[in-house]
Amino acid sequence: MKNNHFDYIITGGGSAGCVLAMRLSADPLVRVLLLEAGGSDLHPFFHLPAGFAKLTQGRGAWGWSTVAQRHLKGRVMGYTQAKVIGGGSSINAQIYTRGHRADYDEWARDCGATGWAYDDVLPYFRRAENNQRYANHYHGYGGPLGVSNPTSPLPICEAFFQAGQESGIPFNADFNGERQEGLGYYQLTQLAARRSSAATAYLRPVRSRQNLVVMLNTMATRVIVESQRAVGVELAQGGSRALQVIRAEREVIVSSGAFGSPKLLMQSGIGPADHLHSVKVPVVHDLPGVGANLQDHLDLFAIAECTGDHTYDKYNRWHHAALAALQYLVLRTGPAASSLFETGGFWYADGPGSARSPDIQFHLGLGSGIEAGVAKMRNAGVTLNSAFVRPNSRGTVRLASADPWAAPLIDPNYWAEPEDRRISLQGLRMARELLRQPALERYVKAEVLPGDAVRTDAELFDYACVNAKTDYHPVGTCAIGPLHDRMSVVDAQLRLLGIRSLRVVDASVMPRVPSSNTNAPTIMVAEKAADLIFGRSLAAAPGVPIKRSTPNCLEETS
C-alpha cells in the first residue's frame, strides 16, 4: 500500500468515523485512512461510566465556546466538543436514545431526505446494537455497540418515577420502543459496566486490519479539490504545522462533526462565498448551506438539596471515592459504574396531545455540579435537567479567520424564536413541579436553584440567561436537502452537492435535530452511509431481531 494513497480518507475519528472505518475496511481490497485530531482513549476516565463528569470539564476536548448569545443577554457558553478517538461517544453520558419515529419521517417527507424515514433507518439502529435486554422489532443484539440498562440505580430514581406518575406521567421501560412518552431508566452505551464508545465497539476490534490505517493527533486542514472532484486531504501531524497531502482514489469522507465538518469544508473553499471572501479563503465552490441550519438542545435545570446522602455527591470526598473505586474493581457496580444521568424521560410541555410527540426531555442527575458550569452544593443534591427537543431557532458555524488552527465561531442562536423560550421555560416549571411531588419528599429537602424567590416569567428568564447550558447535541450544518434548495449541502446519498467524490457523514447532515440525545442517531447515519457507499441497502423483516450483521467486528475477533 502506498503510504500517501488510499481509496477512502475519513476526516474525523468520532462516532461516525469509527463506524465507517470498521465497515469500509471490512472489504480487504479497500484501503482506508482514518484521521483524528485528538489522541488515544487510554486514560481510565474514557472507560469508566462515571468518568463523564470529568470529561465535560476539559480532558479530551477542544475548549471551544459559543459567541455571545443575543437572546440570552449576551451569554457566552463553554461548548465541550470531543478531541479524542471515539469523539463524543468517548466523553458523553452514554445515554442511548434515538428520537421519535416522526423525526425521521419528517426528514423524508419535509426535508428531501429520501430513504431516511423511520422504517428505512430502523434496521441500521438494530444492526448497530448488542442490546443486553431486548430482542424484538425495535432492537437487535450481536452488533458492535453495547447497549444495556443501568447496573446500580439508586432508590431516588424509583421515587422519581413515582413522582412522575403523581404528575400524570407514566412509567416507560423502553424509550426506543413502541412509544417515547414517560419516565424511566435510559438504556446506556455500556457493556459489562464499561463505556461502549465507537472507538471500543467499532474500531478497536479491527485495528489490526492491514488495509486500515489510523492516524491520531493528525488534523485535516483542507480537502484538496481538482476539477470539482475531491482528490485528497491536506493534513498536519502532532504539534507541527508542516503540511502534507494524502490522496484519495475513491472518496474523501468528512466526518468531523457538526462544527468540525463545516469548518473543514469552509477552510477548503467550500461554503458561502461572501463569508469565505470576508476571511480571505479562496472560493472553490459556493455552497451557502455549509455552516447554516445549526440546531442544538438548550438545557435548563433545577437543583434541590437532599434530606441525606441519597445521590453520589459524597463520592467527591477522597475516602468515599476510594471505596467506590474498590467496589467497581471488585464488583463492577456502584458510583463508578453509573453514568450519573441514567434516569429521565419525555413528556409534553403543554400536556398530552399538545404536540405530535413529546417535546420536553428530562435527565435526572444523581448529584449537583456534575457538569462543567453547573452549580455544586455543600450538601448532597439532585439535579433535574429539562430541554425543549425540537427547537425552531437556527444558528451558524463560521470561520474566525483563514487559519485552520483558529476556533470556529459557533452561534447556536438560542431562543431566536420566542416559542423556543416559552416551551423551554415551561419545561423548567415541569422539572420544579416533579421535584416537589410527594413521592420525593423523603429524598428532597428543598429546591436551591432556581429557588423559591424565582417565580415569574421574567425571573425565570433571568435565571436561564445565567444558568442555561447546552446538551451538546449540535446537528444540521451540512444538511441533507433537495437539489433545488440552495441551502442543501448533501443529497440523500450524503454526497456533497457540486463536488464529486466527497461525502459528509456525521450529525451535521441531519436536517432537523432528533427529539433525543444524538449519539445513537449519529451512529445510525454512519451505518447507513457505509451501505450507501458500497451501493447496497439493509432491510429487516418486521418482528425478526437482527442478530449479527455482515461484516461484523465481533466475527473478526472470535
Q: Which residues of 404-442 are buried (b: 16+ CB within 10 A; e: fewer)?
A: beebbbbbbbbbbeeebbebbbbbbbbbbebbbbebbee
pLDDT band at 187 (very low <50, low <70, confident <90, very high): very high
The class (CATH top level) of 151-185+298-388+415-467 is alpha beta
What DSSP designation does 314 have? G
Domain ranges of the chain: 1-148+190-294+395-411+474-558, 151-185+298-388+415-467
SS3 per residue for 1-43:
CCCCEEEEEEECCCHHHHHHHHHHCCCCCCCEEEECCCECCCC
Task: Confirm if 87 and 202 have CB atoms less than 8 A apart.
Answer: no
The residues assigned a catalytic role are 473
Q: pLDDT tens across 490-535, in order?
A: 999 999 999 999 999 999 999 999 999 999 999 999 999 999 999 9
pLDDT band at 45 (very low <50, low <70, confident <90, very high): confident
C-alpha cell at 444: 428532597
Task: Confirm if 334 and 328 have CB atoms less than 8 A apart.
Answer: yes
60 torsion bin: left (phi>0), alpha (psi -120 to 50), beta (else)? left
C-alpha cell at 551: 461484516
Task: Confirm if 218 and 36 have CB atoms less than 8 A apart.
Answer: yes
* pLDDT > 90 fraction of the chain, expressed in percent and rounded: 82
Angle value at C-alpha 88, between 145 and 20, nearest 5 degrees: 55
Task: Confirm if 338 and 312 have CB atoms less than 8 A apart.
Answer: yes
Task: Confirm if 488 and 112 have CB atoms less than 8 A apart.
Answer: yes
pTM of the entire predicted model: 0.94
The class (CATH top level) of 1-148+190-294+395-411+474-558 is alpha beta
User: Per-residue pLDDT for 357 more than 80?
Assistant: yes
pLDDT band at 337 (very low <50, low <70, confident <90, very high): confident
Q: Can you say how many angstroms the Cα of residue 289 is from the centroid of all Cα atoms in its chain?
A: 21
pLDDT band at 553 (very low <50, low <70, confident <90, very high): very low
Contacts of 544 (CB under 8 A, 6+ apart): none
Residue type, 550: T
Task: Confirm if 307 and 442 have CB atoms less than 8 A apart.
Answer: yes
